[in-house]
Structure 1
Amino acid sequence: MRFSAGVLLFRRHAELEVLLGHMGGPLWAKKDAAAWSIPKGEYLPEEETAAAAAAREFEEELGLPVPAGEWVPLGDVRYGTKQVTVWAVEGDLDPALVVPGTFEMQWPPRSGRMQEFPEIDRAAWFGLETAREKLVAGQRPILDRIAEHVTGALPR
């Protein structure tokens, strides 16, 4: 099992909105539906707490610290061989200020050529209905949990 942790930033405008990042790199470049993620990343439980990893990964992926606010535990989701622990924080952040971290991978495949790509290539705010279409399927249960936290009821 691999462990990841992340922070779902949310705000209350005309509707509840969440901040998602579009996954970077050539594999995701031409995809939009199910190609966005909660800012998160892997950690080793014996070396770091999930909360510390969530804060670190948020800053690594977005280039900005988690805004000040209460950390609301939204629990875990499991998909594939990954368990993701997520907290919600109410706050605001201008996506234009995001300076994403990078990763390196061989591209094109089997070329022997290493290239650097952004971890996320853009960030944006979405209402829950749109976020459900954009977010990778394994993370979608988190949207029900944030809705329940904010409104006290599950979305339709």
Structure 2
Amino acid sequence: MRTRMIVAALSALMAFPAVAEEVGPVTGLPLPRYVSMKASEGFARRGPSSTHRIDWVFKHRHMPLRVVDEYGHWRRVQDREGAGGWMHYSLLSGNRTVIVEADALDLHRRPNPDAPIAARLEAGVVAWLGACDRGWCAVEVGDADGWARTEALWGVTPGEVRD
């Protein structure tokens, strides 16, 4: 009887395999993932080498980008509008930033909509990303810092948890 129960339990587990997170073949890091531009200018190329044609030039240091693929020292990136291409990894940083998507984003002193407002950011502002939990992220830009809802930011995954 006990053997049949174990076999039934294992059969049920095999019928619903765990969802495997896709990881990059070079770094082993999750795909997609977010990074920021280390350089003040970066060429996004048609393919993963310096001989490929430049399709796009990013000109904003610290701009968040989404890595969707990797090959050798090259990362295929996209901006919030989907534009991009292959960039050399030396132009990218693991330090996370976000872009404000909302027209006017209130930063709260605590991750609570009833908390006092610490600052207000305009759409398009690039901010440093801190801790995230339960749909809120700590962000900082210049002297302003506070907590914002993740759905008002591009460069962070909904439900992402960061320490």
Bigger Rg, structure 1 or 2:
2
Higher relative contact order (CA 8 A, sep 6+): 1
Which is strand-richer, 1 or 2?
2
Which is helix-richer, 1 or 2?
1
| TM over 0.5, shorter chain | no
